């Protein structure tokens, strides 16, 4: 009931959840009462509330509008939680989201934090590209500007790790601590800027001037790198962590997906299986295409047990560059320029322009039907981001590898999706 990018609030959802229209509520019950359907409704409502909170309106109007939407959403969830026409699992979802995210306006507090950080990042960007900083950073583009200039693919000799990592990485950080770290780093940058301004008005020896210039360039560059990282963290929190937490379906029992795309073909071989996947792309940079292909083929080649025998799983990737004006077929697997974001959407793999070598292999796992195996969740009461990663798994960590269980599972999924072709 929303487009795949979550960009539009469907009229039925708006009328049922926010306008309390009875006919729309009944239609919503008929069409989206199960876990997955109601999860889509929650995602759509999250996007709508976020857009209202970030709207370019006067502060009092914006806060008032988002508050009214928040209260209407609370009444809607109250109704769903009490309505026995909905399945018990859906009612529990509504109850948990209401209690965890709407209590004490916790969701609005998280969105307010995100808006505040975005404003402070914009202020810091302006300081970083001010006239007295431009000289120090002229060869070091920052933020999205750096990625807009072109691709920065992994080195041609990049390879998967020889051994998978071990153990679980656990990490937790409060939004308050993240904001505090940013403020401390920005203050240090401003002190360095003031010192440099003072030095520029002082008669210094050539050697002292050179040392001061070097210190200033290093300070500006280091803060630019930190700013990139903080901006990425804030965007990921708003785009992914908070959204996925609000949609409880997305963080519980992540389902496998049956791959049925005709551009995926699994062939039986004398030694095991060979998976062939064909992509199309508008990306013209051959180094990017080569890294994409090598990542998937190197990670997705290995051995696993099947019926007591060792089987070899091999992968071959083909990428065809579309001609100018050529449109891909409706079922084409697509490799796309994600600019600052990597991810998978249905049959698309998007790569950010400075992607890690492991990223294409991870995203390809989603094309094959595998879910993420890391935890990226939000604790709304403590206002904390909580992460956990299995170092051994490529579906969880950059340090992981595709495990034997992944190969076995993918064979089963492709077989179930009708993509296994046995030799004559």
pLDDT score recorded for residue 255 = 60
pTM for this structure?
0.76
Hey, what long-range contacts does 369-374 have (CB within 8 A, 24 or more apart)? Answer: 369/256, 369/257, 369/258, 369/259, 369/410, 369/413, 369/417, 370/256, 370/395, 370/406, 370/409, 370/410, 370/413, 371/254, 371/255, 371/256, 371/257, 371/395, 372/254, 372/396
For 371-424, how does the pLDDT look when each residue is reduced to its tens digit (9 = 90+)? Answer: 989 888 899 999 999 988 889 999 999 889 999 999 999 999 999 999 998 775
For 235-255, how does the pLDDT look when each residue is reduced to its tens digit (9 = 90+)? Answer: 989 988 999 888 876 666 556
Torsion angles phi and psi, residue 300, rounded to 5: -95, 45
CA distance 110 to 138: 35
Ordered by start, the domain boundaries in the chain are 9-109, 264-421
Q: Which fold has domain 264-421?
A: Collagenase (Catalytic Domain) (3.40.390)
What interhelical angle do 35-54 and 88-97 show, nearest 10?
Answer: 20
For 320-340, how does the pLDDT look when each residue is reduced to its tens digit (9 = 90+)? Answer: 999 999 999 999 999 999 988
CA distance 151 to 160: 21
By DSSP bridging, strand 302-306 and strand 309-321 are antiparallel
């Amino acid at each position: 009931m929303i487009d795949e990018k979550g960009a539009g609030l469907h009229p039925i959802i708006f009328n049922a959840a926010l306008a309390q229209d009875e006919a729309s509520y009944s239609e919503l019950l008929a069409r989206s009462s199960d876990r997955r359907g109601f999860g889509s409704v929650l995602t759509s409502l999250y996007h709508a509330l976020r857009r209202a909170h970030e709207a370019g309106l006067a502060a009092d109007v914006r806060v008032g509008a988002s508050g009214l939407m928040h209260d209407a959403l609370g009444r809607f969830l109250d109704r769903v939680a009490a309505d026995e026409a909905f399945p018990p699992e859906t009612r529990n979802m509504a109850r948990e989201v209401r209690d965890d995210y709407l209590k004490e306006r916790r969701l609005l507090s998280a969105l307010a934090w995100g808006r505040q950080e975005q404003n402070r990042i914009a202020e810091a960007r302006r300081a970083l590209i001010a006239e007295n900083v431009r000289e120090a950073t002229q060869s070091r583009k920052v933020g999205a500007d750096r990625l807009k200039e072109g691709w920065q693919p992994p080195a041609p000799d990049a390879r998967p790790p020889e051994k998978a990592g071990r153990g679980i990485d656990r990490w937790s950080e409060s939004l308050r601590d993240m904001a505090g770290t940013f403020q401390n780093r920005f203050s240090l940058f401003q002190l360095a800027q003031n010192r440099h301004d003072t030095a520029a008005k002082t008669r210094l020896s050539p050697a002292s001037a050179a040392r001061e210039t070097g210190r200033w360039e290093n300070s500006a560059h280091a803060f630019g790198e930190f700013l990139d990282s903080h901006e990425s963290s804030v965007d990921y929190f708003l785009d992914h962590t908070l959204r996925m937490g609000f949609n409880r379906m997305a963080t519980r029992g992540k389902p496998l997906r049956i791959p049925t795309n005709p551009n995926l073909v699994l062939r039986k071989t004398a030694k095991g299986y060979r998976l062939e996947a064909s992509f199309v792309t508008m990306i013209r940079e051959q180094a990017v295409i080569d890294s994409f292909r090598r990542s998937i083929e190197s990670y997705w080649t290995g051995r696993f047990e099947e019926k007591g025998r060792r089987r070899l799983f091999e992968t071959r990737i083909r990428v065809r560059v579309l001609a100018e004006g050529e449109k891909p077929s409706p079922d084409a697997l697509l490799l796309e320029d994600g600019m600052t974001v990597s991810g998978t959407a249905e049959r698309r793999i998007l790569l950010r322009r400075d992607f890690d070598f492991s990223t294409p292999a991870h995203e390809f796992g989603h094309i094959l039907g595998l879910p993420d195996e890391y935890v990226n969740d939000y604790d709304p009461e403590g206002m904390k981001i909580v992460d956990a990663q299995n170092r051994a798994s490529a579906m969880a960590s950059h340090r992981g590898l595709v495990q034997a269980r992944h190969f076995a599972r993918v064979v089963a999924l492709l077989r179930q999706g009708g993509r296994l072709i046995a030799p004559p």
